[in-house]
Chain A
């Protein structure tokens, strides 16, 4: 089993839709969790950290479920500019394979 696994995608959604991604991790002792965004042919950039109590940043909400060992990312009111690959990161170094999102007009 991989250390970090993500929804395979791709997700193709219309503008304005709400979309959610999950990411499971195998190490129950994991302490830090992040979501990164990677545009085509670009380097990954931090989208948001994931706090134990869950956190929100505008249209983006991240949640952590330690009991089931997964984190989630919810994007509300999708914009065309949200089209990218979303990577979850566990313990700062273990990346998932990424989930590709395409938002269409």
Chain B
């Protein structure tokens, strides 16, 4: 399967613990996005990378969230000191940025986080 993959698919943790999620984008894609989605809502933008550079981070993202894409390939999203409000589906997407401005994103299956 050459699509976007995410690991783990499900994560249950206790409040206050740290969690880390991984995303492997489609291999030739230079952009990678992280979103959070809760029931009945659309994906909420968290951050995105072009190659290894983090170009934008949502103002809604607290300091407990950090993301990296060290070699411009896979990315990790870490949430420190998890809270029950962090429970959501975390989606990763990748795209190939071109000069046209119209760029399709391909989404991974998501990591469902439950904070007890």
Which positions in A face B, CB cutoff 8 Å? 4, 6, 31-32, 34, 42-46, 49, 87, 92-98
Contact B41 A93 (CB under 8 A): no
Name the CB-closest residue of A to B108: A43
Contact B107 A95 (CB under 8 A): no
Does B87 interact with chain A (Cβ within 8 Å)?
A: no
Contact B103 A92 (CB under 8 A): yes
A-B pairs, top 4 by smallest CB distance, nearest first, are: A95-B42, A43-B107, A93-B45, A95-B43
Contact A93 B103 (CB under 8 A): no
Knowing A93-B33, A93-B48, say if A98 contacts B42 (CB, 8 Å): yes
Contact A95 B45 (CB under 8 A): yes
Residues of B within 8 A of A96 (CB): 42
Most A-side CB within 10 Å, residue of B40, B91, B104, B110:
B104
